[in-house]
Amino acid sequence: MSRFEAFIGMEVHAELLTESKMFCGCSTKFGGPPNSNVCPVCMGLPGSLPVANRKAVELVVKTALALNCEISSPSIFYRKNYFYPDLPKNYQISQYGDDPIGKNGYLDFMVDGRPKRVHIRRVHLEEDTGKLFHVATGQSHVDYNRSGVPLMEIVTEFPPDIHTAEEAREYLVNLRSILLYLGVCDGKMEEGSLRCEPNVSIRAKGSTEFNPKVELKNLNSFRAVYRGVAYELERQAKLLSSGGRVTQETRRWDDARGETFVMRSKEFEQEYRYFPEPDLVPLTFAPEWLDELRRALPELPEAKRARYQQRYGLPAYDAAVLTVDPRIAAFFERAADAHHDAKAVANWVMGDLTRLANATDGGLDALKVTPDALAALLKLIDAGTISGRTAKDVFQEMCQTGKAPDQIVREKGLTQISDETALAAVVDTVFRENPKEVERLRNGEEKLLAFFVGQVMRATRGKAAPDLVNRLIRERLS
Amino acid sequence: MAELQELTAHHLMDLLARREVSYTDLAKASLDTIERVDSQVRAFVTVTPERALSVAAALDAAKAHPSPLAGIPIAIKDNMCTRGIPTTCSSKILRNWVPPYNATVVERLLQQQVVISGKTNLDEFAMGSSTENSGFFTTHNPWDLTRVPGGSSGGSAAAVAAGEVAAALGSDTGGSIRQPASFCGVVGLKPTYGRVSRYGLVAFASSLDQIGPITRDVTDAAIVLQAIAGHDPRDSTSVPLPVPDYTKSLVANVKGLRIGKPREYFGEGIDAPVRQMVERAIDLMVSLGAQCEEISMPHTQYALPVYYLIAPSECSSNLARYDGVKYGLRTAQDVDMIAMMEKSRDEGFGPEVKRRIMLGTYALSAGYYDAYYLKAQKVRTLIKRDFDRAWEQFDVLLTPTSPTVAFEIGARVADPLRMYAADLCTIPVNLAGLPAISVPCGFVDGLPVGLQVIGKPFAEETVLQVAYTYEQHTEWHKRRPNLEGSTAAAGGGAK
Amino acid sequence: MTEDEVAHVAYLARLELTPEERKLFTVQLDSILAHFRHLQELDTTSVPPTSHAISMQNVLRDDEVTQSLPVEDVLANAPERDDSFFVVPRIVES
């Protein structure tokens, strides 16, 4: 691979967070019974006509602005003509040519600690297709519920700025973050609401011509994107090194086997016969409206990362992790503003909070803990009221029940025992009950210290202040 | 009293309102006429007697005449969706398709409680100028059964001319309302593009299609237009302009009207007798106080190729949905998906439809898009500009509707180009999106001739007034064809 | 226009033509297109294309859910169905 340079173009499709479809009022809700969210328009019945969804247009404009694009005005819809059973009209209403809603933008992010800029050629609006299911008989079943759902397509510039699998992954991670921040898409790759199709080609270093590119499909996670691209780069390198040629084709990533395979082509004529959609009129955007939208954009990840480092003194790594998901970031900020130690807050958010959110159905939104409650918990730790270890259990309870930390501590009697006299008594009891181990500890078996600490903890049901216990044991020994 | 089936809709409305005839009797008159004459005329694909009589019965039971068109027997061209009634577009590929929804225009008529007598025959998917391209059968001109009624709304025009219904809806992409109206001696109006909703009209060429009335006289055209015009939020190309009261345009006055006579519509492509009739009509208007001047519209000669590139291109895309997957004909052969689509379309589409799909696909394909489709769209702008220039000087343009009178069935089917030439005078109007009406202005060898009045965008009022004025000073609209089995008024269309 | 081009266009349009149809269409389409070649004589370099006869913009609808068709209506005209799914024949790479 070192003889070669790689070029990776990224084509991303994002299902937009609208209530209704792109050109009709059918619901976009996922998972209903087949063909239950369908009407003459999204079914392509004879005589039906499309009417564009205002919110979908706005979401795409917002995204284009956030990606530093020029906004085309007018912007036109086109018909992309091809035959396939999941495409009811046998054309898709999309955008083409020089006037997509957004063009000539860029995304800045960090890879390996270094800044990277990926240029974006176009951001445009189109409609999704229905779903085809192959069945045992060899036939296929078609469900048009998804047909007509608004879709945003984001395509990187050519020649590509992305040269490694890692850059490809980081581009996607950062792009997805922005979409979450804007509330434009829910970014669930596993569910298909965010789809990524890298176009991969390589060439010998020093040559000026581009080789045919291979389009990859079925990459349903960041990890799959990384692995898929990496595999494909290797495959092409091997092919070219042995004197072969790369065929322009579409390949499917098989996650289980870790390889790409040539796909059965769905339609292999690339002749889409684009022409302006006569049933829809142009979109135009007033400069004042665009300015207003631009001003109303939320603080985006890049700006937020910079601010976290400056305002909270967090290292770049923490800032990056905290800003991937805007809800996590929002939680962190509220808690950090309520507590003096931002780093401690960051640790808890990156650690226990994220872990619990990932393990819970419904994620962060399903957890009942509030940022203020986390700040209160940290205060209890600072005051020595509970140990760090106990705090973890208290936090879990807070997430499940929504109760305040001091309430939980009180109810469960978890207050740390810091009374020297009381603890000394416990230590003495433990010593009395384990004379052999005391002898061994006195003789230098340091590791038994943990045993005694553990025994004291057991006796006190975990509530003994650990540092104090350590000190008392050592004192008692001598 | 003349037979009910010979009366205009507005006359019938009057009789109904005064309870001189019952809704049921009127519905029966329409259905009986259909039964008596349609074996000869063959205007209808589907007749809906039960529905018709049920609506009439409900109206008879009600107290007052609820709306202008209540109880009026109307025919709908079979390319407009009618819920629960097969909508075939006269194509084998949709022979058994029953839409689950109504076109907006149908909804609006149903709200007025019209009596829909049935769905009328057309050239398949509205592609043609004679109704010979119907996938089922040809309609015959009531004035001479050996001749075509024109197309593509031949069924609707023949149904009105034959007295089977009092009014009908047609659609017009390159002349498909006006030309058959002209061949059948009735009135046909194509509104400005965007005036009437296209929702539920099975698309042929989206940037050209419009729905309009086909009626016995101009008054009826105004009434039906009133009922169907207006903004529809389900049609993005429907214009949100208020609908004026078109009946106020029914005033016989053309004093000071500036008429333009485009030279290119009176050239050698037009049959001499037709030209004479139309010029006589223009003379009449001048004698009534209008002024007429010639004008040149130099890009007229390009209208036919422009139309026959744009319309097939759009139609090749609009008709892609007919693939045997979700509705319509699917081949009985057990083959794979692509072959299934290919065979279903081959079995379902007639030759003219295939020809236009092929032409359109070619014109849009890589390497040809710029030379054909894009070029045609640019020349379309030039054609539109010719009209814009005309409107600086004139209020309306008067032309023949068609270069000839109705030709014989079979005379042009083998020669597509010659068939296309029948639309010479009507096509430019669609390209520019303008309103235009055809009114009968004479007979040549017993066959009707049509006068076309073209107006500025959204000037249906002017167009109606000019047409009305002409009509009120002539008797052509009072003639009825002499169909065997129906009692014709005096002065039928004997040769 | 050659017969090969006609065959290719027929494939793009998913129309299965018989050899006779292919021959006939080649002749007819060729003569129609020849007729249209004189469009080229017009200078349209600075002329914008007309995609719409009316000049409207920004016709948009609010993002509100409206009622969909009952499933039975959706499938009523299906050439082949399996419960609530449309059924299509096997898809083969050709």
Q: Average pLDDT in the A456-473 region?
A: 85
Q: Please report the pLDDT score of residue B2 as a whole number.
A: 62
| Chain C residue with minimum CA distance to B366 | C9
Domain-embedded: residue B367: no
Band (A361; pLDDT cuts 50, 70, 90): confident
Residue among B206, B326, B369 minimizing CB distance to A279: B206
Instruction: Give residue B447's pLDDT.
Output: 98
- What number is the average pLDDT over the span A377-384? 90
Angle at which helix B460-472 crosses helix B218-228, to 10 degrees, equals 160
Q: Which of A113-117, B163-167, B207-211, C11-15 has the lowest mean pLDDT?
A: A113-117
**Complex ipTM value:** 0.95
Of B91, B117, B130, B152, the catalytic one is B152
- Most B CBs within 10 A among C1, C27, C31, C36, hence the mutation to make, goes to C36
| Residues on chain C touching A133 (C-beta within 8 angstroms) | 85
**pLDDT of A217 above 70:** yes
C58 touches chain B (CB under 8 A): no
Inspect the interface and report whether the beta carbons of B362 and C9 lie closer than 8 Å.
yes
For residue B297, the model assigns a pLDDT of 97
Average pLDDT over residues A402-412: 89
Interface check A46 vs B, CB under 8 A: yes
Is the pLDDT at A477 greater than 90, yes or no?
no
**What's the pLDDT score for residue C1?**
80
- Across the interface, of B100, B341, B351, the residue whose CB is closest to C73 is B100
B296 occurs within a structural domain: no
Q: Best of B199, B358, B379, B418 to disrupt the C interface by mutation (most C CBs within 10 Å)?
A: B358
> Residue A395 phi/psi, 5° resolution?
-60, -45
Closest residue in chain B to residue C85, using alpha carbons only:
B326
Mutate to test the interface with A, among B234, B235, B359 (most CBs of A within 10 A): B234
What is the dihedral angle through the alpha carbons of B147, B149, B155, B160, rounded to the nearest 10 degrees? -110
CA A333-A337-A341 angle, 5° bins: 100
Cα–Cα distance, A456 to A433 (Å, whole number): 11
> Could you tell me the maximum CA-CA distance found in chain B, to the nearest angstrom?
70
Q: Which residues of C touch B191 (CB under 8 A)?
A: none
C16 touches chain B (CB under 8 A): yes
Tally of helices (H runs) and strands (E runs) in chain C: 3, 3
What does the alpha-carbon distance between residue A321 and residue A306 come to, in Å, rounded to a whole number?
Answer: 13
> 3-state class of A53 per DSSP?
strand
Q: How confident is the model at residue A265 (pLDDT cuts 50, 70, 90)?
A: low
CB contact under 8 A, C16 and B380: no
Which chains border C (3 or more CB–CB pairs < 8 Å)? A, B
Closest C-alpha among B356, B377, B305, B363 to residue C35? B305
Instruction: Judge whether B77 counts as a catalytic residue.
Output: yes
State the nearest Cα–Cα gap between C24 and chain A, in angstroms. 24
B351-364 helix and B303-318 helix, angle to the nearest 10 degrees? 100
Q: Do C56 and B309 touch (CB under 8 A)?
A: no
Interface test mutation site (partner C, options B197, B237, B362, B419, max chain C beta carbons within 10 A) = B362
The distance between the two most distant Cα atoms of chain C, rounded to a whole number of Å, is 58
User: Which chain C residues are closer than 8 Å to B194 by Cβ?
Assistant: 53-54, 56
The CA distance from A62 to the nearest CA of chain C, in Å, is 16
pLDDT of residue A312: 94
Instruction: Please check whether residue A52 touches B, CB under 8 A.
Output: yes
**For residues A59-74, average pLDDT:** 97
* pLDDT exceeds 60 at position A267: no
Neighbours of chain B (3+ CB pairs under 8 A): A, C
Q: Is A250 helix (H, G, I), strand (E, B) or coil?
A: strand
Q: How far apart are CA B176 and CA A200, in angstroms?
A: 52
Best probe of the B interface among A133, A275, A277, by most B CBs < 10 A, is A275
From chain B, pick out residues whose CB is under 8 angstroms from the CB of C5: 362
Question: C90 CB near a chain B CB, below 8 Å?
Answer: yes
Q: Which residues of B touch chain A, with CB atoms under 8 Å apart?
A: 80-81, 87, 89, 94, 97, 99-101, 103, 198-203, 205-207, 233-237, 313-314, 317, 320-321, 323, 325-327, 337-338, 341, 361, 364-366, 369, 373
The answer to whether the Cβ–Cβ distance between B233 and A51 falls below 8 Å is: yes
Q: Is A81 on the interface with B (CB under 8 A)?
A: yes
pLDDT recorded at residue A266: 45
Q: Select from A154, A98, A145, A107 the least CA-distant residue to A126.
A: A154
> What residues of C are in contact with residue B367 (Cβ under 8 Å)?
none
Q: Is residue B344 part of a domain?
A: no
Average pLDDT of adjacent 10-residue blocks, chain B of 495 residues? 85 94 97 96 98 97 90 98 98 97 98 98 97 97 98 98 98 98 98 98 97 98 98 98 97 97 94 97 98 97 93 97 97 94 96 94 89 93 97 98 96 83 93 98 97 98 98 96 60 40
Per the CB < 8 Å rule, is B377 touching C50?
Answer: yes
The pLDDT of residue A284 is 97
User: Å from A14 to nearest chain C CA?
Assistant: 18
Q: How many Å lie between the alpha carbon of B346 and the closest alpha carbon of chain C?
A: 6
- Shortest distance between the Cα of B493 and any Cα of chain C, in A, equals 37
Structure token digits, residue B301: 């000669």
Instruction: Report which listed range, A83-87, A244-248, B1-5, is most confident.
Output: A83-87
**Cα distances (Å, whole numbers) of residue B474 to A72, B9, B170, B261:** 56, 19, 25, 21
Domain extent, residue B43, equals 4-263+392-478
Interface check for C59 against chain A (CB to CB < 8 A): the answer is yes
Per-residue pLDDT at B487: 46
Structure-derived torsion over alpha carbons of residues A86, A88, A91, A95, reported in degrees to the nearest 10? -80
Residues of A in contact with C74 (CB under 8 A): 35, 38, 43, 144
Number of domain units in chain B: 1
Helices B49-61 and B23-41: angle between axes, nearest 10 degrees: 160
How many angstroms separate the CA of residue B147 from the nearest CA in chain C?
Answer: 25
Q: What is the CATH number of the domain that holds B247?
A: 3.90.1300.10
The answer to whether the beta carbons of residues B434 and B424 sit under 8 Å apart is: no
Average pLDDT of chain A to the nearest whole number: 92
Examine residue B288 and state whether it is found in any structural domain, yes or no: no
Lowest-confidence segment of A90-94, A202-206, A413-417, B37-41 by average pLDDT: A413-417
Residue C84 with chain A: CB contacts under 8 Å: 33-36, 143
Non-local (6+) Cβ contacts of A303 within 8 A are none
Predicted confidence band of residue C94 (pLDDT cuts 50, 70, 90): very low
Instruction: Tell me chain A's radius of gyration from C-alpha atoms.
Output: 29
Model pLDDT, residue A264: 60
List Cα–Cα distances, B38 to A161, B88, B139, B157, in angstroms.
Answer: 71, 18, 9, 13
CA distance A274 to chain C (A): 13
Q: Is the pTM of this model over 0.80?
A: yes
Chain mean position to CA A467 = 40
Which other chains touch chain A, taking contact as 3+ CB pairs less than 8 Å apart?
A: B, C
Sign of the CA dihedral A204, A210, A213, A219?
positive
Tell me the shortest Cα–Cα distance from B329 to chain C, in angstroms. 7
* Helix, strand, coil percentages, rounded to 5, for chain B: 45, 15, 40
Lowest mean pLDDT among A36-50, B385-399, C22-36: C22-36
Q: Which residue has the higher pLDDT, C82 or A463?
A: C82
Count CB atoms within 10 A of the CB of residue B136.
Answer: 17
